[in-house]
Copies of this chain bind each other. A is one copy, B any other.
Amino acid sequence: MGEGRMRGLATDLYQLTMAAGYLANGKTGEATFELFVRRLPPRRSWLLAAGLEQALEYLRDLSFDGHEIDYLRRVPMLARVGEPFFEYLRELRFTGEVWAVPEGTPVFAGEPILRVTGPLIEAQIAETYLLSTINFQTLIATKAARIVGAARGRSIVEFGARRCHGFGAALLAARAAFIGGCIGTSNVEAGYRYGLPVFGTAAHSFTQAFDEEAEAFRAFYELFGDQTTLLLDTYDTITAAHLATEFGSRLRGVRLDSGDLDRLSREVRSILDQAGMEKTTIMASGDLNEDRIEELIGGGAPIDIFGVGTELSTSRDEPALGGVYKLVEMTRNSQLVPKMKLSRDKATYPNRKQIWRRQGVDGHFAGDLIGLAEEAAAGAPLLERVMVGGKECRPAPTLPEIQDYAREQIERIPAGVRALADPTVYPVSYSEQLEAAQATLRRELERQH
């Protein structure tokens, strides 16, 4: 779930034209595709993998109903492909095998996040949806983890639904942000669908709806008691902070949404403390990101909770992750044949792969090796089998389990690699066997072309 049930049509047209081409040419044997990110986005030195649950739901549901097939018959590009193709699509289900790194696993450039093996047409059609959900959720989980790291133990709540790329994106952003370490979201539908903790205070319009700010505050406190967080900046923040002292130490919190958050948080903290409200928390919101939060926290601003919207929920500084899904192997005359793309700036490695992660004596990750799936290498293999014969073959972890796992994994990334500014590069190498396989295939292809 997350964006309505998506099925066979949730793909690019060229996946279907290729599928028709495969079918017409008897290319219905098994193929393997791997999903990975070629280069890390600017400022990112690692990624937090997310989106596997939606990927597997999609594969489980992948099919075409009669209306959808009728629609495809009317697509001009498909006018000549013939009835056998539409019959094939009508029967199509995903029957293959999927290996993936668990959601919440840190990954690096070139590392397969997901590997799909199945009849070529099934695996090909799935490309677009798999990329859309894993690219986006990995993007947001990574951004969330950066922001959570910058907050040094203060809490982050995801607040971005109104600036997300539609409400479907808002749901997935709330889910991925939780994986990345946010304590919850303002998005009620995300709370309902995914069981995420939901948080809410009030907006300026609530204060405006009353003649007096004090009257609005009293009405809110009357209803929400010790759950109340009052929004202070509708008219004047300091005046409002003084009004808030009327409620004493049972007031849960106040929120600042504009102005100089460093100065205002100190002044408001002082007003609250003088009223014996040391436990009343200060929440800040308004155009926050990891840099701004690091600056505020580093400078000692007494802010307990940050509500982060736009910058988190759209990953504003880098709003797209360039994950790709590449053919690495296919069956020909009952033989597995390795495949790679040769074009200069986008060459790939052939064959099914595994990632092995080594651990140093301090418990931190010490380096990764990408090799052929059947190699024996030192370290813990990261890709696990999650679907066989189109059916999930392991109990799906809950979101709190994924969040706990992610937190533990992130702590094991070397501190230099995790640094927000000028991170060091984490060592990832390719095995000798994989390099040799690529070199052999490259020579062969260059001879041909």
Contact = CB atoms under 8 A, between A and B. Distances in A.
Interface of A: 1-6, 9-18, 20-22, 24-25, 27, 31, 33, 54, 68, 71-72, 75-77, 79-81, 120, 124, 127-129, 131-133, 135-137, 159, 161-173, 186-189, 191-192, 198-206, 208-213, 219-220, 222-225, 227, 233-236, 239, 258-259, 310, 314-316, 319-323, 325-327, 330, 332, 339-346, 445, 448-449
A343 B13 contact: no
A168 B3 contact: yes
Contact of A162 (B131, B191, B315): B131
Contact of A224 (B80, B173, B449): B80
Contacts of A448: 212-213, 235
A166 B163 contact: no
Given A6-B189, A25-B219, A166-B2, A205 B33 contact: yes
A200 B14 contact: yes
A173 B162 contact: no
B188 A12 contact: yes
A234 B239 CA distance: 66
Contact of A236 (B79, B224, B330, B449): B449
Contacts of A170: 132
A339 B207 CA distance: 10
Contacts of A212: 448
How many copies the complex holds: the figure is: 2
A437 to B, nearest CB: 15
The 5 closest A-B pairs by CB, nearest first: A168-B168, A4-B4, A13-B200, A3-B168, A319-B319
Contact of A201 (B14, B172, B225, B342): B14
B169 A258 contact: no
B3 A166 contact: yes
A205 B327 contact: yes
Given A235-B449, A327-B209, A188 B13 contact: yes
A315 B205 CA distance: 30
A77 B203 contact: no
A137 B14 CA distance: 25
A161 B189 contact: no
Given A17-B200, A219-B24, A191 B343 contact: no
A127 B163 CA distance: 12
Nearest to A135: B163
Contacts of A314: 165, 319-320
A183 to B, nearest CB: 13
A136 B161 contact: no
A68 B325 CA distance: 38
Contacts of A3: 3-4, 166-169
A205 B17 contact: no
Given A68-B192, A80-B225, A223-B81, A16 B200 contact: yes
Contact of A5 (B4, B222, B315, B341): B4
Given A24-B219, A206-B18, A2 B168 contact: yes
A314 B211 CA distance: 42
A211 B173 CA distance: 42
Given A186-B12, A326-B205, A199 B77 contact: yes
Nearest to A51: B166
24 contacts: A2-B168, A13-B198, A14-B202, A17-B200, A21-B223, A22-B209, A24-B223, A71-B191, A77-B224, A80-B224, A80-B227, A81-B224, A128-B162, A129-B167, A132-B166, A132-B167, A132-B169, A133-B166, A136-B166, A234-B343, A235-B445, A236-B449, A316-B319, A316-B320
Contact of A322 (B6, B163, B223): B163
B76 A27 contact: no
Contact of A320 (B132, B159, B224, B310): B310
A18 B327 contact: no
Nearest to A212: B448
